[in-house]
Amino acid sequence: MNSVLLGQYDFVILGTHPAALWGAILLLERDLKVLVLPMLTTPATASSPIYSIPLIDEHPSHRFIPQFILDSILKDIPADQFHVTQLLTRDRRLRVFRKDNEFQEEWNFVLGKNANSEQLTSDKNTLKTTGALRRGLGYYVRGYESAPLFPEDLKFMISNQGSVFDLKPKATSLPHFLFRKIEALGGHIDFRACQSVFIDKKVLVGIQLVGNPTMVSISQAIIATSINKVQACLSEPLLIQSQPVGWNFEIRIQVSPEAVPIGATSKMIYTDDDAAIVEIIQIDAGDYILRTMMPMKDFTLDREYQRKIAQRLVKLFSNYVPDLEYNLRSVFPDIRDPERAETRDLVDRYPFTHLASIPHSILSYAIPGLGHQSSVQGISFAYEESYPRFGHWGAYQAAFLSIQDWAKKVQRTDFSTILPPLAVAVSR
């Protein structure tokens, strides 16, 4: 950890998100001066170097990193220390299953619990690609959903792919690893708290650290933590553009194919002035997914409430399929058995018990997200809300675009090719 704080830096990174730390490495490799402020509560000392400090503020998503970055800067981490969690193509982001039982649960939910076990084994084998990684079934993301992607669909999507890896948390800390890279390149990491970020007429001027009486001049800042953690330091507040407004809740229902009305379309929307929109999505003849959006409220985590919402979805579906009680073949969660629905099905399908632990893939946003630019010139974002549609990739997109915008402004052409073509395509 460098001990001498300079009076001027090109970039300051506020937080520990790996996307911005990766950006710091790119900047340092091009001889720019970079200051990293982890915004943590535990200071580093000579006897406690930065890579031994527990990152108590570290978000679980900080374990994730795109494949091309993994290949370029994490070569000394053994391959068994990470696994793919998302598969990116030019127009979709797919969920990847870590374990057989997760794949089995999704198989049961999408294809039905009576699916032939030999077919399951066969289709799982077709999803093994480089490194024998199991891809699983996937969906469009956040309001862009369509029918599920079946194994045969994925066969055509393996080329031109990009993967996002999840490092095993007990094996290594990605921010700590990147800290060591930053140190080796001459970057300055300071664990003192940020006392003030000075903004003059919506333009970043500099920062002041606790225990340092003078202002440090800064050309550009990247926020790599929750915006709430830095708002208190800002002399002028930033405008927050996007927060999750809800999460997607869905059930699977199968009816007799002959009961489906003539002329039915594959996707329908049911609206009610007093309730959230309900989507009715046809997977196959008589096979449907019913989806609605839960508000970001604690009461939506109650299993009884979830069961009641599932019952409402079935009731609405009965307006579409006449005599549903006679034509219903299966429903999951099984609302016909309240105890099973609340203690087994709903727990298996939606295991989270806190709003903060809801998976990014089922969150819904009213508008796209923060993007990478803020309302203050010189301050940008590389955090979870930058591009929520892209999941864990979004923060890296934001870091890249923040640096690219700065490079164009100062006419630094050596930053023009820092992402592979896929990343540019995904950003469109």
How far is the first Cα of the chain from the last one, in angstroms, to the nearest whole number?
39
* Mean pLDDT, residues 132-155 taken together: 38
- In this structure, is residue 206 part of a structural domain? yes
The angle at the Cα of 125, spanning 98 to 71, to the nearest 5 degrees, equals 55
Q: What is the DSSP string of 380-407?
A: EE-STTSSGGGTTHHHHHHHHHHHHHHH
Same domain, 345 and 255: yes
* Residue that terminates a domain, selected from 159, 184, 200: 159
236 and 257 inside one domain: no
Q: Which residues pair with 82 in a beta bridge?
A: 167
Domain for residue 27, yes or no?
Answer: yes
Q: 324: domain range? A: 244-363
Q: Which of 68-82, 142-156, 198-212, 288-302 has the lowest mean pLDDT?
A: 142-156
The dihedral built from the CA positions of residue 4, 14, 83 and 428, taken in this order, carries a sign that is: negative
pLDDT in tens, 354-365: 988 887 667 776
**Number of domain units in the chain:** 3
- pTM attached to this predicted model: 0.64
Domain-located, residue 85:
no
How confident is the model at residue 100, as a pLDDT? 59
Q: What is the pLDDT of residues 59-110, one digit of tens each?
A: 667 788 887 788 777 776 777 777 777 766 655 566 665 565 655 565 555 5
Would you state the structure tokens that stand for residue 114, as one six-digit string? 């009576």
Asked if residue 342 and residue 223 are part of one domain, the reply reads no
In a domain, residue 103? The reply is yes
Of 123, 139, 159, the position where a domain reaches its end is: 159
Residues 341 and 288 in one domain: yes
What six digits make up the tokens of 8? Answer: 């001027």
219 and 266 fall within a common domain: no
pLDDT digits (tens, 9 = 90+) for 275-329: 778 888 887 788 888 989 899 999 999 999 999 999 999 988 888 887 888 888 8
Q: Based on the domain organization, do 342 and 238 belong to the same domain?
A: no
Out of 104, 134, 159, pick the residue that ends a domain.
159
Q: Do 61 and 188 sit in the same domain of this protein?
A: yes
Q: Higher pLDDT residue, 335 or 25? A: 25
Burial letters 290-328, b for 16+ CB under 10 A, else e: bbbbbeeeeebbebeebbebbbbbbebbeebbeebeebb
- Whether 279 and 290 share a structural domain: yes
Range 351-354 contact pairs with CB under 8 angstroms and sequence separation of 24 or more: 352/301, 353/301, 354/301
Instruction: Establish if 249 belongs to a structural domain.
Output: yes
* Together in a domain, 252 and 359: yes
Q: What is the CATH number of the domain that holds 208?
A: 3.50.50.60
